[in-house]
Structure 1
Amino acid sequence: MTATALVVLAHHRPDSLTAHIAGLAARELAAGGYQVDVLDLHHEGFDPRMTVADQPDWGNREKLYSAETEAHMKRLLAADLVVFAFPVYWQNVPAILKGWIDRVWNYGFAYGRSKPRLAGKRVLWLGLAGASAEDPMTEGMHAFLSAQLNDGIAYYCGFGESRVAMLTDAEDKPQTVSEDGVLHIGEAITGEARRAHYAAFEATALAHVREFAAAGMVPA
């Protein structure tokens, strides 16, 4: 049986580095034997706002959700592996991704059962950050995202494994924040240095995807 993967892109620009990384991840997963479903939240016009139709009766675990929510639930249920690609905003996921989790990972579906319906699935969070790897705040950002996404969401919903890979230095201008809270932006890298920088960035992202995907494949 072919393993399936859902790649969720949360970025408003189709020409963004985040979208590029999502595309690379999808192709890597397909090359590794996964059947891949790419969910571009902005392109598909997903509305992140919770509605009454999404929770017609919060306490009823067997309720019918809105048609849009039900459709996204089916895509999530079909996946063995979920990979998110998103820019890190304020040490958090973008609003559209938070809204997707709010609406789709709903009570009675993703949590609130003795046996979670998402039990055993695996999730990789690829967070692109403008901060430099040398910035002292980077470690705290990663710890905050890991606690929120791994423990507060994935574990709570029964996922078998959840991992946050924070991809630093996403900007072509080095960014650091001093101890007094001042943002310092360096000169933009150009030419061969820029090409080498983003080649290494892509390689790091793909290494995370490749290693995480391979660990979940069951031999035929």
Structure 2
Amino acid sequence: MPRHTLLVHAHPRTDSLTAQVTDLLHARLKDGGSTVDVLDLYAEGFDPVLRPADEPDWENREKSYSPEVHAHMDRILAADDIVVVFPVWWMAPPAVLKGWIDRVWNYGFAYGRSKPRLGGKRMLWLALMGNTEAEIEQLGLSAVLDLQLRVAVSRFCGIEDSSVAIVHGTELSGVPRALRPQRVRELLKSAEESLNGALPR
């Protein structure tokens, strides 16, 4: 049975490696028979600032949040799989992605119920990092991202089938220009392998 994927993209530049990875995964998912809803947080002008209308009300899990947030909630509920593609800046996801979590993955919707609404979904957090794999492990960044995203967001919200994958070595400034196209192909292949491993068809 075909699955529906929410593919979240969090990078401001349309020519970035993150955008290329998102485009590749979009094509890969469609080729695999999935329907895909591409949520480009920057292109859609998502406001990451949490304001009173979207602040959780711990005494009312049925609270009505802003129309924008409810529209995003509907897109999440409609998905069987959620794939989030983002760069790592300052050892963390971009502010627009953190704001999407703060505003949309809200009390009464994503958590705060005895039967999680998001249980049964699959999720992949795909992070692009300039550091080498050795540098990432030495700094402990893979463990940090896993705790922040797989444990504190996905699992907390009832998504047990979740993983964090890192495409490392994405900084191209140190790669000779003649070799950059090949390096980009290698990085895209790594991203596709991460998708195949997390969301097998």
> TM exceeds 0.5?
yes
| SS of corresponding position for 1:162 | strand
Pairing 1:197–2:183 present: yes
| SS of corresponding position for 1:60 | coil
Residues 211 and 137 (structure 1 numbering): CA distance in 2 closer, same or farther, change over 3 Å?
closer
Residues 15 and 113 (structure 1 numbering): CA distance in 2 closer, same or farther, change over 3 Å?
same
In terms of Rg, which structure is larger? 1
Pairing 1:38–2:38 present: yes
CA distance in 2, matches of 1:135, 1:53: 41
Contact 2:136 2:142 in 1 (8 A): no
RMSD (Å) for aligned C-alpha atoms: 1.5
The residue that corresponds to 1:65 in the other structure is 65
Aligned-pair distance for 1:56? 7.1
Between the aligned residues of both structures, percent identity stands at 48
Aligned-pair distance for 1:78? 0.4
Structure 1 range deviating more: 106-115 or 195-204: 195-204
The residue that corresponds to 1:158 in the other structure is 158
Q: Which 4+ stretches in 1 moved above 6 angstroms?
A: none
Structure 1 range deviating more: 97-106 or 134-143: 134-143
The structure carrying a bigger helix percent of its residues is 2
| SS of corresponding position for 2:134 | coil
For residues 97-126 of structure 1, give each alpha carbon's deviation from its aligned partner in whole angstroms, at most 9, with x where no partner exists. Answer: 000001000000000100111011111011
Residues 6 and 213 (structure 1 numbering): CA distance in 2 closer, same or farther, change over 3 Å?
same
TM-score for both structures, normalised by structure 2: 0.95
| SS of corresponding position for 1:69 | helix
The residue that corresponds to 1:81 in the other structure is 81
Aligned-pair distance for 1:139? 6.0
**How many correspondences in the alignment?**
201
Aligned-pair distance for 1:211? 2.6
The residue that corresponds to 2:197 in the other structure is 211
TM-score for both structures, normalised by structure 1: 0.87
For residues 75-108 of structure 1, give each alpha carbon's deviation from its aligned partner in whole angstroms, at most 9, with x where no partner exists. Answer: 0000011001100012211100000001000000
Segments of structure 2 that go 5 or more residues without pairing to the other structure are none
The residue that corresponds to 1:184 in the other structure is none
For residues 45-64 of structure 1, give each alpha carbon's deviation from its aligned partner in whole angstroms, at most 9, with x where no partner exists. Answer: 00001121113744211121
CA distance in 2, matches of 1:56, 1:212: 31
Contact 1:131 1:138 in 2 (8 A): no
Residues 204 and 136 (structure 1 numbering): CA distance in 2 closer, same or farther, change over 3 Å?
closer
Counterpart residue type for residue 171 of structure 1: E
Segments of structure 1 that go 5 or more residues without pairing to the other structure are 174-186
For residues 1-60 of structure 1, give each alpha carbon's deviation from its aligned partner in whole angstroms, at most 9, with x where no partner exists. Answer: 431000000111111110110111111111111110000000000000112111374421
Counterpart residue type for residue 164 of structure 2: V
CA distance in 1, matches of 2:117, 2:133: 37
The residue that corresponds to 1:188 in the other structure is 175
| SS of corresponding position for 2:39 | strand
Pairing 1:109–2:90 present: no
For residues 152-182 of structure 1, give each alpha carbon's deviation from its aligned partner in whole angstroms, at most 9, with x where no partner exists. Answer: 1111000031111111111113xxxxxxxxx
Contact 1:132 1:138 in 2 (8 A): no
The residue that corresponds to 1:5 in the other structure is 5
